[in-house]
Amino acid sequence: MYNILKEYRVKDWFHYLGYILLGSLASRNLNFINFLLGFFMLSYAYSFNDFFDKKLKNKLFILPLLLSLIFLPFLSKLQLIFYFSFILIFTLYSWPVTYLEGRPLLSTISNSIGFLLIFFLPFINIEKLLQFLDFSLLLFLLNTVAQIIHEIVDYKEDKKNEKITTAVSFGHKNSISLLRLVLIVVFLLSLFLFSRFKFISLSTFLFTTYFLFLSYRKVDSKFRKWFKCLGIVCGVTYLLELVHV
């Protein structure tokens, strides 16, 4: 079991299952099928990326993709749109023919949108989803921050491998400036959300303020690790508030 989790890099993305819990609470559709489907979708995305990035021989991505298909008859039409959009985005992201991972801005935006679809997955009707557009924008921007951090940390390696990500295209200093700009936008959005989501607003305010100041020291692997860890803590406050919305 451990080897399976390691092969599919679960430790790198398990926190995204929290997005499904957030979406389940927001949509009032707490269904275990959504979590299983999300697990296989994320397993596919990461193993498909590794297959090409690491030039693996074993096509590990086939199994989670096939297993995810089992759940499709249980989904609404809207959920099917989210599912196929996710599969399409992350296929185009890693597939050498399209390789969005190596295209400036597209590498960042495709990740931001792709992982947002994990939050959308439990929604079975568009009316309920529209009620959470402001919160969805918050998650999109936080995804963008996370991706920019990831690209900054991997800047030297990506440049060496001639992978033209947003960070490589912009340069190291400009990428950090871009990171700060997006953090400021998240900061401002958190203030806007206060009247509706007080705990979400406050936790996001503190979270972005901390990393905005920290970015003036050094954006490295430790910075990325802390962003992920404190992001989970911040996400818990989101869960607590959405339970009562």
**Angle, CA of 102, 104 and 106, to the nearest 5°:** 85
What pLDDT is attached to residue 1? 58
For residue 244, what pLDDT band results from cuts at 50, 70 and 90?
confident
Domain ranges of the chain: 1-131
Position 133 pLDDT exceeds 60:
yes
**Residues 72, 161: Cα–Cα separation, whole Å:** 38
Residue 2 — pLDDT band, cuts 50, 70, 90?
Answer: low
Q: If you search the block for the tokens 């912009």, which residue do you land on?
A: 170
Whose tokens are 């969805």? That residue is 136
- Dmax over CA atoms of the chain, in Å, equals 52
Distance CA 219, CA 160 (A): 19
Question: Given pLDDT bands bounded at 50, 70 and 90, which one contains residue 144?
Answer: very high
Res. 207: pLDDT tops 80: yes
What is the DSSP code (8-state) at residue 151?
Answer: H
Instruction: Specify whether the CB–CB gap between 219 and 1 falls below 8 A.
Output: no
Interval 208-231: pLDDT, tens: 999 999 999 999 999 999 999 999
Phi, psi values for residue 229, rounded to 5°: -65, -50
Task: Report whether 110 contacts 89 (CB < 8 A).
Answer: yes
Q: Please give the average per-residue pLDDT across 2-17, as a whole number.
A: 84
Across the range 108-135, mean pLDDT stands at 96
Condensed to tens digits (0 to 9), the pLDDT of residues 182-202 reads 999 999 999 999 999 999 999
